[in-house]
Amino acid sequence: MVQAPDGFRPVARRWLVTGASRGIGHAVAALAASRGDKVCIVGRDPGIAGIAASIGPDVFGVSADVTKADDVVRIAAEVEARWGGLDVLVNNAGLHRGGGLDRISDEDWEATIATNLSGPMRMVRALVGLMPEGGSVVNVGAVVGFRGFPGDSCYGASKAGLTGLTNVLAVELARRQIRVNMVVPGFVQTEMTATISDRARDAIIGRIPLRRMGTVEEMAEVCWWVAGSPYMTGSVVFTDGGLMCNL
């Protein structure tokens, strides 16, 4: 039997990537678009349409906040109107608020949980009805959701919750042949990590066996193959230069 060459896909997939106005999400969107897929990017940035246009012709942007129920409904309506369905949902939008228990406010806690945990749950709930068999959800986790980093209670709890949500949804949605996995970046050069002091940065890099930060392109490549791996669901894929092995 003649087989299509590796990577050949006759039909472009339809991706939705949250938090794609910059950073890892932007790189995921750019990679998918560069490989011929259609992409919807979501972020609160009012200039999201311009960012989408700069990625490629088959990319459109929705300026929306994943913590707002009405915005999530609007995102789903826009995707349905444009495409009538969705193949890949990447829950990447994320917020980091640090500080020990004595310093964090209730607002820090609630904003972090709302963005990193409730947002993905609402996105899946709103969009799963548009996904056919073979659909794929990729949640973006964090090493902090698996290990205790002092000063990261908001962020660590939100990402640990997202791991639990990934497990449950992998089982629930398997009945419909929709896969749900988690990609876990280690320490990646983005706006989220830009304000970390040199001392703290060096300390983290000192724990990474590969002795460097990751790039957004390296994270995007892993999200790409996790999204398309037909027998993978409920998996957690660390992409961290070995950090988890060394903690």
Ligand X SMILES: NC(=O)c1ccc[n+]([C@@H]2O[C@H](COP(=O)([O-])OP(=O)(O)OC[C@H]3O[C@@H](n4cnc5c(N)ncnc54)[C@H](OP(=O)(O)O)[C@@H]3O)[C@@H](O)[C@H]2O)c1
Binding site for ligand X (CB under 6 A): 18-25, 42-45, 65-67, 92-95, 115, 140, 142, 185, 187-188, 190-193
Contacts 24+ apart (CB under 8 A), 102-110: 104/153, 104/154, 108/154, 109/153, 109/154
Rounded to a whole number of angstroms, the minimum distance from the CB of residue 103 to ligand X is 20
Rounded to a whole number of angstroms, the minimum distance from the CB of residue 204 to ligand X is 9
Rounded to a whole number of angstroms, the minimum distance from the CB of residue 8 to ligand X is 30
Rounded to a whole number of angstroms, the minimum distance from the CB of residue 134 to ligand X is 25
Considering the complex, state which of residue 21 and residue 233 has its C-beta at the smaller distance from ligand X.
Answer: 21
CA distance 226 to 22: 21
Contact 49, 59 (CB under 8 A): no
Considering the complex, state which of residue 106 and residue 191 has its C-beta at the smaller distance from ligand X.
Answer: 191
* The dihedral formed by the CA atoms of 209, 212, 216 and 220, expressed in degrees to the nearest 10: -30
Considering the complex, state which of residue 11 and residue 194 has its C-beta at the smaller distance from ligand X.
Answer: 194
Considering the complex, state which of residue 90 and residue 128 has its C-beta at the smaller distance from ligand X.
Answer: 90
- Give catalytic residues, as residue numbers: 155
The per-residue DSSP string of 192-220 comes to GGTTS-HHHHHHHHHH-TT-S-B-HHHHH
